[in-house]
Amino acid sequence: MNKRYFAADEADAGERVDRWIAGAAEDLSRSVVQRLCDDGAVFADGKAVAKNYRLRGGEELAVEVPDAKPLDVVPQDIPIDIVYEDDDLLVVDKPKGMVVHPAPGNWDGTLVNALLFHCAGRLSSINGVIRPGIVHRIDKDTSGLLIVAKNDFAHNLLAEQIKAHSFTRIYNAVVYGGFSTGEGTVDAPIGRNPSDRKKMCVTERNSRPAVTHYRVRERFTEFTDLELRLETGRTHQIRVHMAHIGHPVAGDPVYGPKKVIARLGGQCLHARAIGFIHPRTGEYLEFTSGLPAYYTAFLDSLRGDHP
């Protein structure tokens, strides 16, 4: 049993406990916290509380996270591009089209299946039996870098950096339209779309703060190539923020225009750089990934090299 402790401030009075803990712990989703509440594993000042408990402010909160169950996900010998690896973590360059962790409809062939084989099962258990080692994720059709923890010590310290916004994440994306300025920031909270729970949207209701900084790299007639730096890491953050300001990511079948650029096979979005303080050595490490072929081919077509 892994017991986690949190302290609520006076300013947190009135917040639902499930929402507050999910916001305080990047590695525990709200649905997971709700299940733990239902199991009597969430406590305020030593007393078990329901998921709809409202904080009074100043409580000491504790969450009992069960030990990981034996993993049913099958290790598979799938080639993966490992940029860096040591005894605590590894950085992987994920190709477009690869799902990060098993889910309905994708129970094998995922990055987790490949990691279980490569690491011989030696991965952190904090995110449960389906997402071992996964500190943060990128979407199936987003290519690029993500970090994987081999143990809970590394996972916790990396998650703390993400929560503190000290984790460097830089993306490249081709988006629709032009920009009058060379750079800018989108500061708009993101939550579930009340009309479609599979989608996210900019909303003030049941949302979390989200900040994306962008800089123009290259301009085209109908598109712009951007560099984007994440200050926060919400689900679909770049895709939602770009669509919100009228510049959806090219090829995005969810947040883009109905007429999708099919040859892109999904959003033209690449996680190009990742930087973090190594949890054991304290050294700052940063890694980069070159633009993949699908991305450079699209840029060439926009430049007129391949009409």
10, two tokens: 């006076």
Is position 152 annotated as part of the catalytic site?
A: no
Which residues, 6+ apart, have CB-to-CB distance to 167 below 8 Å? 136, 158, 161, 233, 274, 275, 276
Catalytic residue among 18, 139, 225, 252: 139
Amino acid at 278: H
Amino acid at 62: A
Please answer whether residues 282 and 292 qualify as being in contact, where contact means their C-beta atoms are separated by less than 8 angstroms: no
CA distances from 249 to 124, 185, 257 (A): 33, 16, 9
Alpha helices in 125-226, H assignment, sequence order: 152-163
Q: Do the strands 89-94 and 207-208 form a parallel or antiparallel pair, or are they unpaired? A: unpaired
Q: Where are the beta strands (DSSP E) in 101-182?
A: 143-149, 168-176
Please answer whether residues 105 and 170 qualify as being in contact, where contact means their C-beta atoms are separated by less than 8 angstroms: no
C-alpha 20/C-alpha 140 separation (Å) is 28
Closest listed residue to residue 299, CA positions, set 216, 219, 181, 239: 219
Alpha helices in 64-136, H assignment, sequence order: 111-118
C-alpha 1/C-alpha 7 separation (Å) is 20
Active centre residues (catalytic): 139
